[in-house]
Structure 1
């Protein structure tokens, strides 16, 4: 029996969507770095991926407790990040933290995309018998 196409790429299709959503959220944070009162947001990736059918056995590893507010966060929605240091205008965006998160997110996105591309290439090889 053939596996459904949804399971063909494993968790990487759902992960790719979440990495893209996180890129949008982080880009929004960076775009609003100078907006007074703007509150930085982020995704709880493990919670969102487990809601899409991933293995939810892994706990969220955060450097400090409360770094990401996950209490009221629905799967795939952005939660407000607890600021590392207060600002006078109420903006909670730390541009260095956002840039580092954006760079790391890009690496994860590229890794998931590379895995999917390799799976497609493997299927193409299997179908054509290795002939171009």
Structure 2
């Protein structure tokens, strides 16, 4: 009987990928907390996990062979965060405390998915080896 990894792991591989992407977005917000005019961004994790958001890869046109080939991925679910605080005058919408809380919450959920997958792998190893794992 074949083992279906899709059935065994469920949505956790996709969740890990999205949690990693969200960590990058939140880290960017935190890093730019003092950048005038920076707008905090985020995406709806549940919507992204359901597959509603798609990623597009774009390549920049090279007009000379000496130019560096560059491509970027854009997530069409990435949106600007609505600020909870009034504008301080510099146009920055990052609420550092809120971003840190979101980052921590995202990390905890990432760790839970990693633990789930680790336990599943141990269970599969045990099943393959006949209980001797």
Q: How do 1:1-132 residues align onto structure 2 when only pairs under 5 Å count?
A: 2=2, 4-51=4-51, 74=76, 77-85=77-85, 86-132=87-133
CA RMSD of aligned residues (A): 1.7
Distance, in Å, in 1 between the alignment partners of 2:101 and 2:33 is 14
TM-score scaled by structure 1? Answer: 0.77
Distance, in Å, in 1 between the alignment partners of 2:127 and 2:15 is 25
| Cα offset, 1:131, TM superposition | 1.7
Q: Gaps (5+ residues) in structure 1?
A: 53-72
Distance, in Å, in 1 between the alignment partners of 2:3 and 2:131 is 22
Distance, in Å, in 1 between the alignment partners of 2:105 and 2:45 is 13
| Cα offset, 1:3, TM superposition | 5.5
Task: Select the structure that is richer in strand.
Answer: 2
| Cα offset, 1:78, TM superposition | 1.9
Q: Partner of 2:65 in structure 1?
A: none
Distance 1:113 1:48, change over 3 A: same
TM-score scaled by structure 2? Answer: 0.77
User: Deviations 1:58-110 (Å, cap 9, x if unpaired)?
Assistant: xxxxxxxxxxxxxxx83xx4211011112210000000000000010010000
Distance, in Å, in 2 between the alignment partners of 1:122 and 1:47 is 30
Distance, in Å, in 1 between the alignment partners of 2:25 and 2:7 is 27
Q: Partner of 2:68 in structure 1?
A: none
Distance 1:15 1:118, change over 3 A: same
Q: Gaps (5+ residues) in structure 2?
A: 53-74
